[in-house]
Amino acid sequence: MVIPAPAVAGSGGSAPGSVGDVRRSNLALVLGRIAEFPRGAHPSRAQLAAATGLTKASVSSLVLDLLDAGIIREIGFNPQGRGRPGVGLELNPGRAVMGMEINVDYISAAVVDLAGKVLVREVQERDNRNSVDGPVLAALAVLAARVRGAAGGHGVEVLGGGLAVPGLVDPAAARVLTAPNLGWAGVDLDLGALLPEAPLGVALFNEANAAALAELRHRPDGASDFLFVSGEVGVGGGLVIGSELFTGPGGHAGEVGHIVVDPDGARCSCGGTGCLETVAGQDAIFEAAGIGPVEHSRSAAMAKLLQALDARQPGALAAVERAGRCLGIALASTARVVNIASVVLGGHFAVLEPWLRSPLLESLQKYAPGRYAAGQVSVSAVGESGALLGAAGSVIRSLVEAPHKLLA
Amino acid sequence: MVIPAPAVAGSGGSAPGSVGDVRRSNLALVLGRIAEFPRGAHPSRAQLAAATGLTKASVSSLVLDLLDAGIIREIGFNPQGRGRPGVGLELNPGRAVMGMEINVDYISAAVVDLAGKVLVREVQERDNRNSVDGPVLAALAVLAARVRGAAGGHGVEVLGGGLAVPGLVDPAAARVLTAPNLGWAGVDLDLGALLPEAPLGVALFNEANAAALAELRHRPDGASDFLFVSGEVGVGGGLVIGSELFTGPGGHAGEVGHIVVDPDGARCSCGGTGCLETVAGQDAIFEAAGIGPVEHSRSAAMAKLLQALDARQPGALAAVERAGRCLGIALASTARVVNIASVVLGGHFAVLEPWLRSPLLESLQKYAPGRYAAGQVSVSAVGESGALLGAAGSVIRSLVEAPHKLLA
DNA sequence: CCCATATAGTTCAGGCAATAAACTAAAGCT
DNA sequence: AGCTTTAGTTTATTGCCTGAACTATATGGG
């Protein structure tokens, strides 16, 4: 017998099987064009028809469904010179999603409307090192409820949420496989409790991946292919290819922190040897620079490092320079494996960029000449809140790609 | 104004815009199920309906179109125990495609029917080092015409072809960007001349990528995610993810030969430093093993190396062991970047596998513990003709994925 | 002020493709 | 022979898109 399979997987809406799928696909197509319209400008039905190739009649009908579902709304007029002015359409700012983050030193939550505007945001310091998941999630649930309440005051409805965690995750199972810096391993999260009654639920993300998605949305150059390198205690990465997160067959691609940059190097927490993280991770740099644990506070240590760099202390300079060189080696190899030519530096790599940049570029030139143009090594445009914004943005995006889930 | 775009890109048939696209998609769905059926067994319309989730009526109609186009045919009966027996369906073996290859020491061509059976095959020795493309293509055109004639004698029609070349290619432009071992750079190929009158034309492939696709088709374990490492003069690679070739944004992903495995290593032909190829490429191994150029023949040099290994010559053993260790480093990094956990060794790595295996596994254990199970390092199932078969198979596959191109 | 022109958006008939259910076809079993 | 079971076809229905006609609403010239 044949292995039975559903006609049309709801998986990605990519394989139409019946006529109804055409509708789903076109709803997403139209909504996608509305969503990607530049801020401030609002497309009319006629413009959407031209942009999508659908007829005006089809677009009108599709738009009607989206209006009924409250996903978009009409806003103002759109004079085209002569003739009847079009009616502008935009994502409904009365609907929103929540981004949440658990990190080593804090938890945070923010409400972002469908247009991408941050309405409320709160960061709460909390030491989550070697923590147990239950209490952390409970604290986050309280924070989320408060932030949600504040958003409700704005008259905004929260449809769903995304949670970013610094570790390897299995999004489908809502499971954190390993988050060494939290001390978590194999932890199943009760995400539903974070945002009860939100129709779209809560999705789970790796922190670097979420930050990469935030970069995708906020890059001034509009790049659609790049590697986001997240420098935290560990070194993570998010690989964006064709405006999509590339996660690989197992779901954990882009782990540049564990590329081998020194075959004779130190043992890594991952069990490997000579990984980039052993040279360019925060703790590794602090140690090489001779900066001891500053009252367990990494931000204090980072301040001290910056001071040392400003004072041109040889040890600190050498540590950062070595990190830059090794980052270059890792990026050279990455360029070959996934053929990417653009890098965005995040986390402490963004902070240290003035000192990292030149050894990094030299290293790229030495190990992968011609692969990265100089302008293709840039600094994060979203900064610290990247993971938070990315988690929220990703939920918005999944809504834009599957609007039928919200139709009556 | 809005950037105009076609309603439904013909690009991948993945985004339906109108009802007609549903038909295209379902034609491909049904044909795909027929094509992936195990050899010898032929699905009936009813089985296809069950497998695809479409109704029997729809499948009947779709099958009729495919029969009319000559893409499939009915073959024999398919008793299901009780009840009316089904009519078996298979890809029409009266239609075929041609695989072609240009390599350093030879050119070759083969006709493969849609069912994947090699009908005619011819390899012609030819020294293509530092060659000019024109004469090589002319010789290949003659060879292709002869092979095609022989296939015609079998009563088989050739629909299209694929050409594999050892170098970086731009398939869309039919352009070889660089093929160092042929001495080609920036060469535009007149592929149409190779197979005049073939309705599907001729597609261009990188050799390692084509071989990877052949592996995908012929793997006994049916793996859908692996890295194929092609050991030739250079070290190439083909990355198969989700049963698709992953080419990256620029189209040249999987170049494992230029992963940095020794930051203090030798200069590479690519301009980089310490690339895998400088340690594990054929010439690099020969040189390290103390085997001089044997009358310019690499097969002779390889024979000599195998002799030396059998005789346990320390120099030869050390050279191969180092290649294995460094290959392990490269694969460890690849595992992190694209999260792949399975490797297929091709080219000289397949030949040297008995000596490579243990240093390779040790190296993987050292640099990426837990990433590759021991059984996940295997040897090519298709051997030397991989690129040839892969190029042909890839054309078959593109036909299976877009059968509407052959409908009346 | 009015009418020509231009553009936006809606209405309506037509066509295509899938579905569901009834129907015909062809086997095995008793 | 007749019942049961499975394969495949026929027919009526539904959903969605298309194209063309139609309505709505603006600008601008006489």
- pLDDT score for B250: 87
- pLDDT score for B293: 67
* Residues B334/B339/B344/B347 CA torsion (nearest 10 deg): -30
For strand C, the positions having any atom within 7 A of a protein Cβ are 5-12, 15-22, 25-29
In CATH, the number for domain B95-211+386-406 is 3.30.420.40
- CB proximity list for B303: less than 8 A, separation 6 or greater: none
Q: Share the mean pLDDT of chain A.
A: 91
Using the beta-carbon criterion (under 8 Å), do B2 and A48 form an inter-chain contact? yes
pLDDT tens-digit series, residues A152-172: 888 899 999 999 999 989 999
Task: Out of B225, B261, B336, name the one closest to residue A258 (CB).
Answer: B336
- pLDDT score for A129: 87
Compute the nearest-CA separation of A230 from chain B (Å).
14
Tokens of B396: 């078959």
Beta strands A157-165 and A184-188 are unpaired
Minimum mean pLDDT range among A353-367, B122-136, B284-298: B284-298
Using the beta-carbon criterion (under 8 Å), do B256 and A336 form an inter-chain contact? yes
Residue A12 reports pLDDT greater than 50: no
Chain B span 67-106 residues with beta carbon within 7 Å of strand C: 77, 79, 81-85
Residue B271 reports pLDDT greater than 70: yes
pLDDT tens-digit series, residues B347-404: 999 999 999 999 999 999 999 998 888 789 999 999 889 999 999 999 999 999 999 9
Q: Where are the alpha helices (DSSP H) in A227-352?
A: 277-280, 282-288, 298-310, 314-338, 348-351
At A183, the pLDDT band (50, 70, 90 cuts) reads very high
Task: Identify the CA nearest to A325 among candidates A367, A286, A292, A293.
Answer: A367
At B123, the pLDDT band (50, 70, 90 cuts) reads very high
Residue B311 reports pLDDT greater than 60: yes
- pLDDT score for A147: 96
Q: Where are the domains positioned within chain A?
A: 19-91, 95-212+386-406, 220-380
Task: Compute the half-sphere exposure of residue B82: CA atoms within 13 Å on the CB side of its CA.
Answer: 0
- pLDDT score for A296: 64
- pLDDT score for B2: 26
Other residues' Cβ atoms within 10 Å of the Cβ of residue A48: 25
Q: What amino acid occupies position A141?
A: A
Helix (H, G, I), strand (E, B) or coil at A290: coil
Using the beta-carbon criterion (under 8 Å), do B16 and A2 form an inter-chain contact? no
Distance A38 CA to D23 C1' (A): 31
Q: Share the mean pLDDT of chain B.
A: 91
**Do the beta carbons of residue A101 and residue A207 sit within 8 Å?**
yes
Contacting residues of B for A261, CB less than 8 Å apart: 260, 263
Whole-angstrom distance, CA of residue B107 vs CA of residue B123: 6
Whole-angstrom distance, CA of residue A32 vs CA of residue A337: 31
**Do the beta carbons of residue A59 and residue A48 sit within 8 Å?**
yes
The answer to whether the C-beta of B47 is closer than 7 A to strand D is yes
**Do the beta carbons of residue A174 and residue A188 sit within 8 Å?**
yes
When pLDDT is averaged across residues A253-275 and rounded to a whole number, the result is 94
| Share above pLDDT 90 across residues of chain A, in percent, rounded to a whole number | 79
The residue ranking higher by pLDDT, B113 or B80, is B113
When pLDDT is averaged across residues A86-115 and rounded to a whole number, the result is 95
- pLDDT score for A17: 65
**Do the beta carbons of residue A205 and residue A163 sit within 8 Å?**
yes
- pLDDT score for A162: 98
Under CATH, which architecture does the A220-380 domain have?
2-Layer Sandwich (3.30)
> A124-132 — which CB contacts under 8 Å span 24+ positions?
A128/A102, A128/A103, A128/A104, A128/A182, A129/A104, A129/A181, A129/A182, A129/A183, A130/A182, A130/A183, A131/A182, A131/A183, A131/A184
- pLDDT score for B25: 95
Task: Out of B26, B43, B366, name the one closest to residue A273 (CB).
Answer: B366
Strands of the sheet with A184-188, listed across from one edge: A168-170, A175-179, A184-188
- pLDDT score for B23: 94
Q: Give the phi and the psi of residue B84 in degrees, each rounded to 5.
A: -65, 130
Residue nearest to nucleotide D9 (CA to C1'): B57
Residue nearest to nucleotide C11 (CA to C1'): A57
- pLDDT score for B14: 38
Beta strands B184-188 and B175-179 are antiparallel
pLDDT tens-digit series, residues A22-38: 999 999 999 999 999 88
The residue ranking higher by pLDDT, A261 or B374, is A261
Residue from A34, A338, A340, A342 whose CB has the most chain B CBs within 10 Å, to mutate: A338
Contacting residues of B for A25, CB less than 8 Å apart: 15-17
Third-level CATH fold of A95-212+386-406: Nucleotidyltransferase; domain 5 (3.30.420)
In CATH, the number for domain B19-91 is 1.10.10.10
Residue A13 reports pLDDT greater than 80: no
Contacting residues of A for B253, CB less than 8 Å apart: 337-339
At B237, the pLDDT band (50, 70, 90 cuts) reads very high
Decide if B19-91 and B220-380 have a common fold.
no
- pLDDT score for B294: 62
* Residues B255/B256/B257/B262 CA torsion (nearest 10 deg): 140
Task: Out of B255, B271, B339, name the one closest to residue A252 (CB).
Answer: B339
Whole-angstrom distance, CA of residue B200 vs CA of residue B213: 19
Q: Which residue's structure tokens are 């530092």?
A: B130
Distance B1 CA to D25 C1' (A): 20
| Share above pLDDT 90 across residues of chain B, in percent, rounded to a whole number | 78
Minimum mean pLDDT range among A403-407, B135-139, B211-215: A403-407
Residue nearest to nucleotide C25 (CA to C1'): B84
Using the beta-carbon criterion (under 8 Å), do A272 and B369 form an inter-chain contact? yes
Whole-angstrom distance, CA of residue B209 vs CA of residue B346: 12
pLDDT tens-digit series, residues B31-47: 999 999 887 889 999 99
- pLDDT score for B228: 97
Compute the nearest-CA separation of B150 from chain A (Å).
37
Whole-angstrom distance, CA of residue A94 vs CA of residue A32: 18
Contacting residues of A for B6, CB less than 8 Å apart: 53
When pLDDT is averaged across residues B288-314 and rounded to a whole number, the result is 87
